[in-house]
Amino acid sequence: MAFRKEKQSLSKGVLQMKFMQRTAVQQLVDENEAQLIDEEHWYLAVPKEFKMKGKPQIIEESFQPLLGLRFGRQSFKGFNPEIERLATNINKDQDLAESEKKEQEASVSDEEMAERYASLVGTIGKKFQKKKRQKKQESKEDEEEEEVEREPKKKRKFLKPKD
Amino acid sequence: MCEVGGIGLPGDKIVDKETDGRIVLGPGLRKETEHVLMTKPGKLCFKDPNIYWVDSHHKRYIPVRGENVLGVVTNKSGDTFKVDIGGSEQASLSYLAFEGATKRNRPDVKIGDQVFCKLLVASKHTEPEVVCIDSSGKSNGLGVIRDGGMTITTPCNHIRKILSPDCVLLKTLGNSLPYEIAIGMNGKIWIKGRTTKETIALTNAIACAEYMNNEQISLMCRKLVNSLSGF
């Protein structure tokens, strides 16, 4: 080690001399090697049993976003209109999500919707067919319908109101 | 081993439901190599889609970044205030962290004032820091709370109950009485009604609702309003 330190402390002037060239080259190479740090340098050698296993996780330390807690400052019945406006604004997103949930419960389910539309496919499809075809198909359908026996279609007329 | 809905102690492994995707670990849980362990005693709770946390009765507040707290200014030194937020250490509040405050125009805050503030820094090793503005420099409901009212301290789990979207307490009271309230996650609640009598009644109602369910709360509120109006 002591020898190395001595070598590093050689001055530029001495190293430039002709008989010192070999030492100078060697020193340059050593320096380059020291600078080259391979990738392993940046990784900790963690033993396998300490590495995280299982499902990936998110850690949330606060209850506020976790439970969807409301904003702490609130006002009721116009006691402090400024705060009331602010609180409703901040809690609006939550209320929206809540009402959306309620709406979904009340409205039609996807399956029901699909069923209804399935019966509509034929009726709407007719619109886009040419007249001749339409008639042909209708007559076909009529034959089928006669077998099933359906109520005859009534032509709607204007009904006079009774006095 | 602790299952969802069961009571566990620190060190217990939790049994998670077999669901896909990332799971969210709330307060009281920690991942240790391949298991999730409890770090707090209490009830293991679960919420859709994938959220787990431990619910327990506790009065000591543990500061968490981003939470709104109600504190009391205890000291003024140089360009910061010291605010007692109920944690293990007092929080610091810069005098520039108020709406409209500049170096020349200092905010009007005195020792003993109450401030509703947001935690900006809350780490294990350093003192917590609170601010009274949001990132855009607006106060948004934060700041000094003045003009009377009354402050009580309740357990932190009670605060979570009051603020949860399912709880009807504040709404039911608000349907019949005009009042203003500031609830900090650190267990402090400031309430102000029209009169002192009403303020006291509201305070009592909120303090005693800890172990009530929604039906009991609405019954209690009805009784309270009736007795306040002299029936």
pLDDT at A59: 86
Q: Which residue has the higher pLDDT, A117 or B219?
A: B219
In eight-state DSSP terms, residue A70 is P
Is the domain covering B7-55 a CATH 2.40.30 domain? no
Q: Looking at the domain B68-145, which fold is it?
A: OB fold (Dihydrolipoamide Acetyltransferase, E2P) (2.40.50)
Judged on CB neighbours under 10 Å (0-12, 13-18, 19+), B148 is exposed
Nearest beta carbon to residue A98 from set B35, B165, B171: B165
- Residues B181, A73: C-beta atoms closer than 8 Å: yes
pLDDT digits (tens, 9 = 90+) for A67-83: 888 999 999 999 999 99
B-proximal residues of A, 75-114, CB under 8 Å: 75-80, 83, 86-87, 90, 94, 98
A-proximal residues of B, 123-182, CB under 8 Å: 140-141, 160, 163-165, 170-171, 173-175, 177-182
Q: Chain A partners of B183 at a C-beta cutoff of 8 Å?
A: 72-74
Domain ranges for chain B, please list them.
Answer: 7-55, 68-145, 150-228
B85 Cβ contact list (under 8 Å, min separation 6):
B61, B63, B69, B70, B71, B91, B117, B119, B128, B130, B184, B186
On the question of a common fold for B7-55 and B68-145, the answer reads yes
Judged on CB neighbours under 10 Å (0-12, 13-18, 19+), B184 is buried
Nearest beta carbon to residue A72 from set B16, B65, B182: B182
Q: Which two tokens stand for residue A156?
A: 């709607």
The CATH class of the B150-228 domain is alpha beta
Q: How many whole angstroms separate alpha carbon A36 and alpha carbon A28?
A: 13
Per-residue pLDDT of chain B (231 residues), as tens digits, is: 888 888 999 998 888 777 677 888 899 888 887 788 999 999 999 887 788 999 999 999 999 999 999 999 999 988 899 999 999 999 999 999 999 888 899 898 999 999 999 999 998 889 999 999 988 888 888 999 988 899 999 999 999 999 998 899 999 999 999 999 999 999 999 999 999 999 999 999 999 999 999 999 999 999 999 998 887
Q: Are the C-beta atoms of B208 and B107 separated by less than 8 Å? A: no
B33 Cβ contact list (under 8 Å, min separation 6):
A49, A50, A51, A52, A53
Q: How many whole angstroms separate alpha carbon B118 and alpha carbon B63?
A: 10
pLDDT at B138: 85
Chain A contact for B70 (CB, 8 A cutoff): yes
| Residue-by-residue DSSP string for B19-80 | --S-EEE-TTEEEETTEEEE-S-EEEEEETTTEEEEE----S----TT-EEEEEEEEEETTE
